[in-house]
Each structure stands twice: as structure tokens, then as C-alpha cells.
Amino acid sequence: MVRTPADLVGAEPGRPFPITFDGRPVTALPGQSVAAALWGAGILSWRTTRNGGRPRGAFCGIGQCYDCLATINGEPNRRACLIPAAPGDAITTQEGHGRAALGV
């Protein structure tokens, strides 16, 4: 018997909706954060560090560590663990500080 957290609490989530990650379709559920939707799709990293380009994704899950920064709908440095996913959201991998035009 396969049981999911939704089954355990008797949750009935709303209809799934599409978002994209680096142009690939991802399915999200109402109430999910962007990070949760990406995790659900098997995507564990959506940022690289400024020094060394090391992959990062969600770490703390509560908005304290800033490892989950992503570019969401063209706006860099958004904490994916705190932003609710919305239909049509476009998430792209953030490289470094997310503001290439600054040349920092």
C-alpha cells in the first residue's frame, strides 16, 4: 500500500497547473512553493554559487539560508521556498548573484 502525506491528512489539493523551469514544463499544485514544485519534479538545484558555480537548491526550507534563490518571472534573488507557485510562472536557473548586468 502506497501512502502519501496528502492521503494521511485527507487533503484534496486543487487541480495541478503548469509552470516552467528553464523552459521545461513542470506541474505544480495550489499552495505549493516554487521549491516544492521543483522538488516534486525531481529538480534539486536551481542556482549556482558566484564562486565556483556549485549547485544549490532548497536547504532550510523556511527562508533563512538563501540557498534556494531563483530567478522567477525574470526577477532574480527570489527565495523559492517562500514564493507560492502560480500558473504560468517561469523559473530559470540563477547563476551567481543573478544580476549579470552589474558586473560585480
Question: Does residue 2 fall inside a structural domain?
Answer: no
In this prediction, residue 4 carries a pLDDT of 80
In this prediction, residue 34 carries a pLDDT of 97
Question: Does residue 39 fall inside a structural domain?
Answer: yes
Q: How many domains, in total, are found in the chain?
A: 1
Q: CB-hemisphere CA count at 13 Å for 94? A: 26
- The three cell numbers of residue 37 are 514544485
Question: Does residue 5 fall inside a structural domain?
Answer: no
Q: In what order do the strands lie in the sheet with 47-48?
A: 55-56, 47-48, 94-95
pTM > 0.85: yes or no = no
Question: Does residue 57 fall inside a structural domain?
Answer: yes
Which ranges of the chain have pLDDT less than 70?
11, 97-104
Domain carrying residue 90: 14-96
In this prediction, residue 103 carries a pLDDT of 41
In this prediction, residue 49 carries a pLDDT of 85
Question: Does residue 104 fall inside a structural domain?
Answer: no
CATH of the domain at 50: 3.10.20.440
DSSP, res 93: P
Question: Does residue 42 fall inside a structural domain?
Answer: yes
In this prediction, residue 12 carries a pLDDT of 77
